[in-house]
Amino acid sequence: MEAQNYLDIKGRVLNIQRFCGEDGPGTRTTVFLKGCSYRCKWCSNPESIKPQPELDFNRKACKGAAACGICLKGPFPPGAFYVLDGDDDKVHANWDLANACTEELAELCPTGAIGMFGKEMTAGEVLTEVLKDESMYRNTGGGVTISGGECLLQPDFTAAILRGAQESGIHTAIETAGNVPWEFMEKVLKYVDLMQHDNKLMNPDPERHKKWIGVTNKRSLENFKKAYETFPDVEFIARTPLIPGINADEGHIRAVLDFIKPYKNVIDYELLPYHRYGLGKYAYLGKVYELQDYQSPSPELLEHLRSIIDEAFGRKAEAKA
Amino acid sequence: MKTIKKIAIAIGAGYTPGINSIIMGAAISAHKAGWEVVGIRDGFEGLLFPEKYPNKGLIDLGPEVISKLNPMSSDAMGTAASMDPFNVRTINELEMIEEVDMSDTLLENIKKENIDGVIAIMMGRGLSILHKLNAKGLKSVCIPRTVENDMAATPVAFGFNTALSFCIEMLDRAKQAAVSAKKIGVVEVPGSQAGWLALQSGIAALADAVISPEFPCDVNDLAQNLKSRITPDKPHALVVVAEGSSFVNLPGRTEDTLSDLRKALSPSATEEDSEFTINKSGQAAKTLSYALQQLLADEVYPLVLGPWVRGGNTTAVDRQLGLAYGAASAKALEQSKFGTMATFVPPHIDFVPLIDALNKVRRVDKDHGFIKVAQALGIYTGV
């Protein structure tokens, strides 16, 4: 990292979102990176999972074969896009064949119906975007948050953005699930003020974590403990995406509290109620959403579980829903 | 041309009753030709991860095994939730999940096992995947199977008749319940892109209305039609709706509000249930029932057949079709008709290039004979 200008390091970015209010203190800019080491069945950002840029097809934006039809012939891969018989001449994607489309091909679509999720950027380019709202961070106590996917899968890139931000006096935060080699986390934490980490499923049966998330949480938990101990000046917030029927129960909340409470630099534990707002994006990716029938936790359940956390942190129990 | 000595059978993702009959047809025909027959476990998983399975991921389908198979069932070889060797979820050297292209591994293992040809029993995305494997050198013949009968290039796919028979039986029961309760029953049947099950079962059960994906349903028009049918002598109705149907003029629709949560948690959040969202089983029945309830004085209730249709015992027609598809496919391999799909145009089984079935859906045309039959019987179709 030191051999070259650290701001020249390249990474794969999904999206840069300004004026965020939920990814750390104050008003923030959140940088979403591509690539994830978990496969949560409830994922609301499925376009962030694959490390490489990938096809994004929004059929709504298609003008139709008669008016356009550019994707129905070369240089697009044969059979990648097609039209069904009938009155509706908007194009469909054959995802198994269309995934071979490159960014250059996607740019040929005049309506933007065919696009790509993700693009390559340098840390310097990302930082330029982040610095646009420097005064807002100062006024609101905000800063920059690197999220994902899993931002620690690109440790040099993430560290470079955060280093640049810190050198400009901007508060830095990351959102991570922690399932990476420790060296990746260590490299990034040097430039982090706040680490928000997911404790998704603290079940004694590791197979349950594997079933819903794809791998066990053994390494994540080991990394979190090591991070608390190695970086005493970094603040940590544990978080759980709360899914009724999977982890929205008192036992889970208490298990997370037991895990984090011995460490004074874990300053809070937040619950993120399950939602289905990412559902439409599964269609844009040609993927199937498996949790169609799951509902958000009730306000009463949320209030009850939050009161347990408030009590553990010595706060007066109150509904935050 | 290499003489065939050994073939394999693979079953694509998803369940269809009676697949054993296809396996039996193919194996018996292959045994007569003197070939060895094996089954690949769990889609292609058996040959992608042979170390996980007994007998290197293959199941012996010799004469003794075949003689003991139950043709009504689909339990001989297992199935996979997904069957895409180009996109296989693995754990990498850093112990992280990644999806990798293992198509070369599959083809190498097929070669290593001296398998000279594959009979693949497929539907949906399985056709595209098979097409990609064929382009990389796989020698295969495809047998079409789907309970929705929406695969292009074959008028009858394996599994449709069994599903149709079950739907008719369920519609008869739903109709009895509607008559008894003096209500309007809306029964959703499978059919994400084509209304064959809805239309044919609706005709057989003499439903009042059949709604198919091919013809967007104007709920005002349907409600007016039902009003004219519901009389003191007949205070009930039966509406059959395919799960992929769409609706216009839905009453009382309100715009979703964008919550803070939605704005906060998703960088490019989209609407929860857009028209491009993959249809959820039960959604069509629920949407239509709710709409009709608002437009009619009568009580309307939804029923969903959904996954029930994909289970059970196969019918005599499908059993014959399975045996015939299987036997003909073994013959097609012998004749080197690689890269083709079986098609049943009664009374013949023929083979067409697989590409003829890709990116196409066999849909109900407004001039189709079944639409005319429905109209002659006074069944509302929206056409």
Q: Which residues contact A238 (CB under 8 A, 6 or more apart)?
A: A197, A198, A199, A256, A259, A260, A266, A268, A269, A270
Instruction: Give ranges for CATH 3.40.50.460 in chain B.
Output: 163-310+366-376
Q: Do B266 and A15 touch (CB under 8 A)?
A: no
CA distance B377 to B369: 12
Q: Which residues pair with B188 in a beta bridge?
A: B241, B304
Encoded tokens for A48: 């962030």
Residues 6 or more apart from B244 whose CB is under 8 A from it?
B191, B192, B193, B194, B213, B279, B284
Q: Centre a 10 Å sphere on the Cβ of residue B37 and count the other Cβ atoms it contains.
A: 26
- Beta carbons within 10 angstroms of residue A10's beta carbon: 15
State in words which class domain B163-310+366-376 has: alpha beta
Q: Tell whether domain B6-158+314-346 is in CATH 3.40.50.450.
A: yes
Q: Which residue of chain B has the CA closest to A182? A: B94
- pLDDT the model gives residue A86: 79
Q: Is the pLDDT of residue B61 over 90?
A: yes
The residue of chain B nearest to residue A57, with distances taken between CA atoms, is B276
Give the pLDDT mean for A215-236.
Answer: 96
Residue B280 pLDDT level (bands cut at 50, 70, 90): low
Quote the CA–CA distance of A59 and A285 in Å, as a whole number: 11
Residues A105, A177 within the same domain: no
Q: What are phi and psi of A31, to 5 degrees?
A: -105, 115
Q: Is residue A147 part of a domain?
A: yes
pLDDT band at B11; cut points 50, 70, 90: very high
Q: Please enumerate residues of B whose Cβ is less than 8 A from a Cβ of A.
A: 84, 86, 89, 91, 94-99, 125, 128-129, 131-132, 193, 214, 260-262, 264-278, 280, 355, 358-361, 363
Q: pTM for this one?
A: 0.86
Per-residue pLDDT, B257: 33
| A320 — pLDDT class (breaks 50, 70, 90) | very low
Contact residues on chain B for A281, CB-CB shorter than 8 A: 266, 268-270
Q: Do B359 and A79 touch (CB under 8 A)?
A: yes
Alpha-carbon span A112 to A15, nearest angstrom = 16
Inter-chain residue contact A51 with B355, CB threshold 8 Å: no
Of A83, A99, A114, the one marking the end of a domain is A114
- What whole-number distance in Å separates Cα of residue B216 and Cα of residue A208? 43
- Together in a domain, A256 and A268: yes
**Torsions phi, psi for B17 (to 5 deg):** -70, 145
Among B92, B95, B103, most A C-beta atoms within 10 A, so best to mutate, is: B95
Region B16-45 average pLDDT:
96
The answer to whether B157 and B123 are in contact (CB under 8 A) is yes
- Which of the 8 DSSP states describes residue B61? -
Q: Which of B95, B132, B274 sits opposite A280 (nearest CB)?
A: B274
Tell me what ipTM this predicted complex has.
0.81
B269 vs B41: CA distance, rounded Å: 39
Same structural domain for residues A281 and A190?
yes
Q: Is the pLDDT of residue A107 over 90?
A: yes
Q: Do A276 and B89 touch (CB under 8 A)?
A: no
Nearest to B359 among A82, A277, A282 (CB): A82
Distance of CA A32 to the CA centre of its chain: 6
Cis omega before residue B347 (within 30°)?
Answer: yes
Q: B256 pLDDT exceeds 50?
A: no
Which residue among B266, B359, B363 places its CB closest to the CB of A44? Answer: B266
B98 interaction partners in chain A (CB closer than 8 Å): 51
Calpha distance B270→B262 (Å, rounded): 9
> Same domain, yes or no, for A95 and A125?
no
What residues does A250 pair with on adjacent strands?
A: none
Bridge partners of B380?
B209
DSSP, res B380: B
Q: Give residues with Cβ within 8 angstroms of B39, minimum separation 6.
A: B8, B9, B10, B23, B46, B58, B59, B61, B76, B77
Nearest to A283 among B94, B131, B276 (CB): B276
- A321 inside domain: no
Which domain CATH number covers A252?
Answer: 3.20.20.70
Across the A:B interface, residue pairs with CB atoms under 8 Å apart total: 116
If one compares B318 and B2, the residue with the highest pLDDT of the two is B318
Q: pLDDT digits over A263-306, tens only? A: 999 999 999 988 777 777 777 777 777 777 777 888 999 999 99
Instruction: Give chain B positions within 8 Å (CB) of A80.
Output: none
Which H/E stretch holds residue B152?
A: none
Q: A146 is in which domain, residue-wise? A: 6-51+119-312
Q: Which of B193, B277, B358 sits opposite A283 (nearest CB)?
A: B277
Do A237 and A220 lie in a common domain? yes
Q: What share of chain A is helix, strand, coil (3-state, %, to 5)?
A: 35, 20, 45
- The residue in chain A having the minimum alpha-carbon distance to the alpha carbon of residue B125 is A96
Task: Kindly state whether residues A98 and A146 are assigned to the same domain.
Answer: no
Q: Is the pLDDT at A13 greater than 80, yes or no? A: yes
With beta carbons less than 8 A apart as the criterion, state whether A157 and A4 touch.
Answer: no
| Residues A241 and A107 occupy one common structural domain | no
DSSP A5-58: -GGG-EEEEEEEEEEESSSSSSSEEEEEES--S---TT-S-GGGSSSS-EEEE-
- Would the CB atoms of B261 and A277 count as touching at under 8 Å? yes
Q: Same structural domain for residues A211 and A160? A: yes
pLDDT at A244: 87
- B285-338 confidence digits (pLDDT tens): 999 999 999 999 999 999 999 889 988 889 999 999 999 999 999 999 999 999
Model confidence at B365: pLDDT above 90: yes
Query: For A219, which residue in chain B has the nearest alpha carbon?
Result: B95
Q: In Å, how far is B72's CA from the nearest CA of chain A?
A: 29
Do both A124 and A138 map to the same domain? yes
Q: Which amino acid is at B309?
A: V
Give yes or no: residues A109 and A168 share one domain.
Answer: no
Query: Which of B95, B266, B363, B367 is the best mutation test for A, with the most CBs of A within 10 A?
Result: B266
Write down the pLDDT at residue A256: 96
One domain, residues A99 and A199: no
Does the structure show a pLDDT above 90 at B148?
yes
The encoded tokens of residue B327 equal 């036997």
A320 in a domain, yes or no?
Answer: no
What is the rounded average pLDDT for all residues in chain A? 91
Would you place residue B276 in the very low, low, confident or very high pLDDT band (cuts 50, 70, 90)? very low
Report how far apart the first and last C-alpha atoms of chain B are (Å, whole number). 52
Please identify, among A97, A114, A131, the residue that sits at the C-terminal boundary of a domain: A114
Per-residue pLDDT, averaged over A100-117, amounts to 93
Determine the pLDDT at residue B268.
Answer: 38
Output the pLDDT for position B75: 86
A89 and A196 fall within a common domain: no
Please calculate the CA angle A250-A176-A118 and round it to the nearest 5 degrees.
130
What is the rounded CA–CA span in Å between residue B114 and residue A99?
Answer: 32
Instruction: Work out how many domains chain A is built from and give that number.
Output: 2
